[in-house]
Amino acid sequence: MSTDLDLFLANVSLISLLAIIGISLYGILARPNIIKKIIALTIFTDAANLLAILVGFRRPPSAPPVLLNLQPSPSEIAEFSSTAVDPLPQALVLTAVVIGMAVNMLIIFIALQLYRLYGTLDVRKVRRLRG
């Protein structure tokens, strides 16, 4: 019974993440305001990162991927590698978060420049002003 509940909760988080990705894609594509597009993009990034972490998760008994003993015996290492969660998605996400922040800053700088040059953040009006 409890494993069914675990599985149900895992499914809820997985499917709501997919729903969030859908909503944020709608925001990126359909909203005309660039600031709203950027907000939707950050939501998309966070949902993708959380999805990666969720894929790396495993049901209890689980442990963080950190060895507490600095002189581990072979049996300790065997136990550690069979209970710890997958460290690879965490490693990918930790760089992606910081790099994503830098890329977001670049996009914000470009949006700011766009506002200075055109006086608007509406994509349709920026397009009309061109040429």
- Residue 35 lies near another protein (rule: CB under 8 A): no
Neighbours of 62 (CB within 10 A): 12
Tell me the closest approach of the beta carbon of residue 32 to another protein, in angstroms: 19
Cβ(12)–Cβ(54) under 8 Å? no
Per CB under 8 A, which region of 24-32, 40-48, 63-71 contacts another protein?
Answer: 63-71
- Long-range contacts formed by 13-19: CB under 8 A, 24+ apart: 13/54, 14/51, 14/54, 17/47, 17/50, 17/51, 17/54, 18/51
Neighbours of 49 (CB within 10 A): 19
Cβ(121)–Cβ(37) under 8 Å? no
- Residue 2 lies near another protein (rule: CB under 8 A): no
Could you give the string, one character per residue 100-119, with x where binding to another protein holds by CB under 8 A and - elsewhere?
Answer: -xxx-xx-xxx-xx--xxx-
Q: What is the CA radius of gyration of the chain?
A: 21
For another protein, the binding residue among 32, 94, 124, 125 (CB under 8 A) is 94
- Residue 129 lies near another protein (rule: CB under 8 A): yes
> Residues binding another protein: what is the number (CB under 8 A)?
60
- Residue 30 lies near another protein (rule: CB under 8 A): no
**Residue ranges binding another protein (CB under 8 A):** 4, 6-8, 10-12, 14-16, 19, 55-59, 64-72, 74, 77-78, 80-82, 84-88, 90-92, 94-99, 101-103, 105-106, 108-110, 112-113, 116-118, 129-130
